[in-house]
A and B are shown apart, each in its own frame.
Chain A
Amino acid sequence: MTTGSTTTDASSSKLSLYEGSTQYRHWRFSAEQLAQARASLNATAVSAIGEKFEAGSSSGVSFLSADEEVLLVKFYLAKCSQLCIHLGFPEEVEATAMTYLKRFYLKNTVMDFHPKDIMLTAVFLATKTTNHPVSLESYAQRIPKTQPSDILGHEFLVAQSLGFDFAVWHAHRALWGLWLDVQNLPDVNMDELRNVYESAVQHVRAARLTDVELIYTPSQISLTSFALASPALAAAWARSKIPTEPEPRVLAVIEPIKQMIASQGAPPEVEAVRAVDRRLRLCKNPEKVVGSNAYMKKQEETERKAEEKRKRKAAEVQKAMEDADPFGSPLARDTNLDDDDDDDD
């Protein structure tokens, strides 16, 4: 409501800015919720795709499990990072694209859309949403075997899957703040501090390969990365911020994040990924495989529906013309004609 919405205004309530963000409101889960969401997404996908196979031919197909999907996505998260570095994109683009990729696969299955394709679109979209736009053509040229249409073809799908929540709050930004902050601690050695920061940056980058950003806040992740680099400095910083707590609770909160970064923060084994990818070739949604029978069928179906809609619309226009005054309808009525979405191209 226009006037009644004040209660949700970050300005007029006690919400922090972060709590007003789409990241906090739409993309924050518990570890259990994540596992649950992925399992049910996978189960739905398996049964839906199973039906698309021609009768009987799906019986022998071994579909990917939720964990295998995660593994494949993770491999492309690492690739995504490499691609951005290779193209000289700022870290903001890289981090944003990786977040997009993770969020995308909370709504879609790799059996419908291969992460190697989605990754390219996620990076391209991220260049725009972080205000570092590049021309599509030059971007596509720098990626082997890729046409501009391959990238644009998925742009809408990616934007939709993200729920159009383009803004992302990143741990590396929070870490920068922390780095400025710790320089004010008493008795710090700048050289040592710089080394700690550099190493913390590496931990933040490792954290991007994990699910931590879907569970914890950027500030928690940045403090964890700092603590991984220097537990003493992190503790000193926490105590300086929260002088009332001799053992700040936040240091306990970040323990599980440490575990996750340590255990999941490396790219997956190529061999394991290759095995999954090989199986994916056999179990991917046939409707998405250009040229397959199921693909043709789906295309025909879409075409038929569009045709029906066009006919219906033509009939409506025809009827409107017959009913109308031969000298044209009153001006105001014209505007009613074009309220359908069909005329767009």
Chain B
Amino acid sequence: MDAVEKANTERQKRWAKDKKVGEGTYAVVYKGREIATGRKVAIKKIKVGQFKDGLDMSAIREVKFLRELKHQNVIELLDVFSSKTNLNLVLEFLDTDLELVIKDRSLVFLPADIKSWMAMTFRGLEFCHRNFILHRDLKPNNLLIASDGQLKIADFGLARDFADPGYKMTCQVITRWYRPPELLFGCRYYSTAVDIWSVGCIFAELMLRTPYLPGESDMDQLKTIFRALGTPTEEDWPGHTKLPDYVPVGQFPRTPLRELFTAATPDCLNLLSKCLIYEPRRRIGAKEALNHPYFFAHPYPSHPSKLPKPAIKNTLPLEEVDGNVDLSGPGPAVKANPPNKLKRKHSSDDLNGRSIARKLDFTQHTGDR
């Protein structure tokens, strides 16, 4: 046996798959454990054989970035091994995700809890951005929660390095409700600000306990945003009318955030508003956000172990680690199903986004040296 093959077998032997917990078109997720220690893990088995272009892009992205990123607030990739034509990602096992937490009506959130989740999200994101990585799919069900309450950013299947100036990127990324207006207007040159907008939407959702900007189509998404935050003027966002897919979607007045977020403190609303600034260059950065007075004011963030958590059910919502699966998943109609079906409903638009993103990526292979 070749040395490389042998090393792979050795690695494979370190992990045991115990139970299948989720299946999609091109990945199966197992609950498993590290044999030597009994530590719980999630094993995501990606079926590679069926792709005509070999290892698929979202698997490659996920492996590439998670191999490099080690941070308390980013999901840890413990190992990678192959079995026949499958790629197996061994990920740390995480109990739940922020979407399930938000949806669990029996849980009450204190302002300090929201502050804690936001701090952890910004910390993880700051680390990604410091490493020149854009996540491009932040939403509550990609923010996983460990048993000790730590929040971890997961699903790097759409992530990429910052592009060099002059390199176009696809604008078909980020699940619609969390997608910033510049992408909806077809912006092909963008940066970390796209992730910040998503975090702003998540922040609002934590306070409202329901998605803040739930557009029904890309066009409706813009309308939904403008209805909430007012139609941007040329002064608010210079040059936005020149963006490739710009269309006027009507004039809506700006309503102060305070009217919707009645219980929030001024610091809190100030940070939220800075995440949702139209002009991407003026939107707050992750590092700056971490230094925002909101995080230093009373009440202080809850300790992660004290955060509200759904009661552990028998069927573990492990599918979050397999966010990039199931292209044929049930459409928006599915609502009254177990937790992971709710997620499916959400993912249906991002899945569209993914397939488009992949297609677009294939067209942009010629660059100048």
Binding site for B on A (CB under 8 A): 1-3, 5-6, 8-12, 17, 20-22, 41, 44, 85, 88-91, 94, 107-108, 112, 124-125, 127-129, 131-137, 148, 151-152, 155-157, 159-161, 163-167, 332, 335-336, 338-339, 341-342, 344-345
Q: A107-B4, A156-B82 are in contact. Are A164 and B67 (CB under 8 A)?
A: yes
Question: Which chain A residue lies CB-closest to B37?
Answer: A1
Q: Does B250 contact A (CB under 8 A)?
A: no
* Residue in A88, A127, A156, A167 whose CB lies within 8 Å of B48: A156
A132 B72 Cβ-Cβ under 8 A: no
Question: Which chain A residue lies CB-closest to B366?
Answer: A88
| Closest chain A CB from B116 CB (angstroms) | 15
Question: Which chain A residue lies CB-closest to B8?
Answer: A160
* Residue in B19, B71, B123 whose CB lies within 8 Å of A10: B71
Question: Which chain A residue lies CB-closest to B147?
Answer: A2
With A and B bound together, what is the CA distance between A133 and B54 in angstroms? 11
A157 B4 Cβ-Cβ under 8 A: yes
Q: Does B267 contact A (CB under 8 A)?
A: no
What B residues does A166 contact at CB under 8 A? 60, 63-64, 67
Name B's interface SS: mixed
| Closest chain A CB from B227 CB (angstroms) | 35
With A and B bound together, what is the CA distance between A167 and B67 in angstroms? 8
A11 B364 Cβ-Cβ under 8 A: no
| Closest chain B CB from A174 CB (angstroms) | 13
* Residue in A3, A5, A8, A152 whose CB lies within 8 Å of B148: A3
A135 B76 Cβ-Cβ under 8 A: no
With A and B bound together, what is the CA distance between A21 and B150 in angstroms? 23
With A and B bound together, what is the CA distance between A331 and B46 in angstroms? 24
With A and B bound together, what is the CA distance between A119 and B53 in angstroms? 17
With A and B bound together, what is the CA distance between A169 and B22 in angstroms? 35
Question: Which chain B residue lies CB-closest to A130?
Answer: B161
Question: Which chain B residue lies CB-closest to A161?
Answer: B4
* Residue in B60, B160, B362 whose CB lies within 8 Å of A135: B362
B54 A124 Cβ-Cβ under 8 A: yes
| Closest chain A CB from B86 CB (angstroms) | 5
| Closest chain B CB from A291 CB (angstroms) | 20
Q: Does B21 contact A (CB under 8 A)?
A: yes
With A and B bound together, what is the CA distance between A159 and B61 in angstroms? 13
What B residues does A89 contact at CB under 8 A? 365, 367, 369
What B residues does A167 contact at CB under 8 A? 64-65, 67-68
Question: Which chain B residue lies CB-closest to A23?
Answer: B68
* Residue in A5, A90, A94, A107 whose CB lies within 8 Å of B76: A5
CB contacts between A and B, total, < 8 Å = 147
A9 B71 Cβ-Cβ under 8 A: yes
Question: Which chain A residue lies CB-closest to B53?
Answer: A136
With A and B bound together, what is the CA distance between A296 and B216 in angstroms? 59
Q: Does B14 contact A (CB under 8 A)?
A: no
Question: Which chain A residue lies CB-closest to B365?
Answer: A134
| Closest chain B CB from A197 CB (angstroms) | 15
A11 B17 Cβ-Cβ under 8 A: no
| Closest chain A CB from B226 CB (angstroms) | 32
Q: A2-B148, A135-B362 are in contact. Are A9 and B72 (CB under 8 A)?
A: yes
21 CB < 8 A contacts A-B: A1-B39, A5-B72, A8-B70, A10-B71, A11-B72, A11-B123, A94-B369, A108-B2, A108-B4, A128-B57, A129-B64, A131-B61, A131-B361, A133-B362, A133-B365, A160-B7, A167-B68, A335-B20, A335-B21, A341-B45, A341-B84
What A residues does B122 contact at CB under 8 A? none
Q: Does B80 contact A (CB under 8 A)?
A: yes
| Closest chain A CB from B96 CB (angstroms) | 14
What B residues does A137 contact at CB under 8 A? 52
| Closest chain A CB from B75 CB (angstroms) | 10
Cβ < 8 Å to A, chain B residues 10-55: 17-21, 28, 30, 39, 45, 47-50, 52-55
Q: Does B210 contact A (CB under 8 A)?
A: no
Q: Does B83 contact A (CB under 8 A)?
A: yes
What B residues does A91 contact at CB under 8 A? 369
| Closest chain A CB from B98 CB (angstroms) | 17
Q: A165-B67, A345-B85 are in contact. Are A17 and B130 (CB under 8 A)?
A: yes
* Residue in A135, A339, A344 whose CB lies within 8 Å of B86: A344
Question: Which chain A residue lies CB-closest to B3?
Answer: A107
Q: Does B190 contact A (CB under 8 A)?
A: no
What B residues does A335 contact at CB under 8 A? 19-21
What B residues does A2 contact at CB under 8 A? 76, 92, 146-148, 150
B361 A345 Cβ-Cβ under 8 A: no
Q: Does B265 contact A (CB under 8 A)?
A: no
B150 A339 Cβ-Cβ under 8 A: no
What A residues does B76 contact at CB under 8 A? 2, 5
In the complex, given contacts A22-B68, A136-B53, A344-B84, what are 9 additional A-B residue pairs having Cβ atoms less than 8 angstroms apart? Answer: A2-B146, A8-B70, A11-B127, A41-B3, A131-B61, A131-B361, A156-B55, A161-B4, A336-B19
B67 A9 Cβ-Cβ under 8 A: no
What A residues does B148 contact at CB under 8 A? 2-3
With A and B bound together, what is the CA distance between A108 and B30 in angstroms? 32
B365 A344 Cβ-Cβ under 8 A: no
Question: Which chain A residue lies CB-closest to B126?
Answer: A11
| Closest chain B CB from A172 CB (angstroms) | 10
* Contact pattern, B 102-134, Cβ under 8 Å of A = 1, otherwise 0: 000000000000000000000100010011000
* Residue in A6, A9, A90, A339 whose CB lies within 8 Å of B30: A339
B72 A128 Cβ-Cβ under 8 A: no
What B residues does A127 contact at CB under 8 A? 365
B364 A160 Cβ-Cβ under 8 A: no
What A residues does B288 contact at CB under 8 A? none
B68 A21 Cβ-Cβ under 8 A: yes
